[in-house]
Amino acid sequence: MALQETENAGDEAAPHVVSPEQTPPVKPCSRPGVIAAAVYEHGQRIGDIEIQDARKWRGREKAVVWIGLHEPDNALLREVQAQFGLHDLAIEDASHAHQRPKLEIYGDSIFVVARTAHMAKDEIVFGETHLFVGRGYVVSVRHGPSTSYNLVRQRCEASPASLAHGENYILYSILDFIVDNYMPVLEGIHSEVEELEERLLRERLDKKDIERLYMLRRSLLRLRNAVVPLVDVCRRHEHLDLPGMDASLHALFRDVTDHVRRVQEDIDTLREVLAFTFEASLMIGQSEQTEISRKLASWAAILAVPTAVAGIYGMNFDDMPELKMRYGYFVVLLFIFFVCASLYRMFRRAKWL
């Protein structure tokens, strides 16, 4: 409600016009590693700037510098640090990927680490985003194959009244975009899990399917490790009085927190389903092996009877009374047939055959 009132007030207020004398020269950004660098005032885009001009806008009221970097080198990071006075530890973390999602407060600025994820060739590909947020600036540093934030920038620029809330609204927009991109990943995995479940009911899973189950569980575990820490990050934005935080934005970060928790629950559910599928596959395999073992044992018992009789009469002894019987051969055959038929009937009743 507070955010809505603020937006309405911003719509009614006269737009702030910057005179040419007040505006530093605007130049398009063309440096390697710099995806976008623009300045906004009262929610309106003023234009693109170079990194070395960012300091000129930092102290202006209602002005925000938004810089997007992708895998920048150390020299570029140090230049950005000099423009905004960023902490050495935060710059050190931003220069090395594979950081755990977290939120750090350095004086009047905050440093946020978030993990991104998207599907590529049936695999979850992870990236990493580092966010520097302070009064009058937002710097996003992307590492790995993460999705570009140009769409976030376009959405923010399409809503000047919301963008007028400043750097923390930009932070919310980026975090919300990252969390929303988790959902297509989970939907893709969910479809594949359902297909594996249906196949399990129709036929036995082969080695390739079992390997896929294991890979999916491992990928979900990595995704869970990326998602769970974001709950704490968003809750701190929701409850703590962070530098430059507008109280009207707490509800927005609360919504992101709810989305993250939903993603976490979906991940846990999928991991349990995969575990049950794997266990069911093992149980079906063991059941089939037990059934085969019973059949083999049954036929072995049946064949043991003629084998034993033939072994007895195959001994080279002259004094064997049965050898002198006129119909002894037929009696033995009848005995073998009777015993084997009885065993076969018994195993059929026991459902071993």
Residue ranges and CATH numbers for the domains of the chain are 2-283 (3.30.460.20)
Residue 76 pLDDT: 92
Residue 14 pLDDT: 36
State the SS3 of the chain: CHHHHHHHHHHHCCCCCCCCCCCCCCCCCCCCCEEEEEEEECCEEEEECCHHHHHHHHCCCCEEEEEEEECCCHHHHHHHHHHHCCCHHHHHHHHCCCCCCEEEEECCEEEEEEEEEEEECCEEEEEEEEEEEECCEEEEEEECCCCCCHHHHHHHHCCHHHHCCCHHHHHHHHHHHHHHCHHHHHHHHHHHHHHHHHHHHHCCCCHHHHHHHHHHHHHHHHHHHHHHHHHHHHHHHHHCCCCCCCHHHHHHHHHHHHHHHHHHHHHHHHHHHHHHHHHHHHHHHHHHHHHHHHHHHHHHHHHHHHHHHHHHHCCCCCCCHHHHCCCHHHHHHHHHHHHHHHHHHHHHHCCCC
Tens digit of each residue's pLDDT, the chain (353 residues): 334 433 443 333 333 333 333 444 444 455 778 899 999 988 899 888 888 888 888 777 788 999 999 989 899 999 999 988 889 999 988 888 778 888 888 888 889 999 999 888 888 889 999 999 988 899 999 998 878 888 999 999 999 888 888 888 999 999 999 999 999 999 988 888 888 877 777 777 777 888 888 888 888 999 999 898 888 888 887 766 655 566 677 888 888 889 999 999 999 998 888 888 877 777 777 777 787 888 888 889 888 988 888 888 777 777 776 667 777 778 888 888 888 898 888 888 888 88
Up-side HSE of residue 31: CA atoms within 13 Å toward CB? 23
Residue 236 pLDDT: 80
Residue 291 pLDDT: 79
Residue 177 pLDDT: 93
Residues of 63-87 as b/e, b for ≥16 C-beta within 10 angstroms?
A: bbbbbbbbebeeebbeebbebbebb
Q: For residue 209, count other CB atoms closer than 10 A to its CB.
A: 18
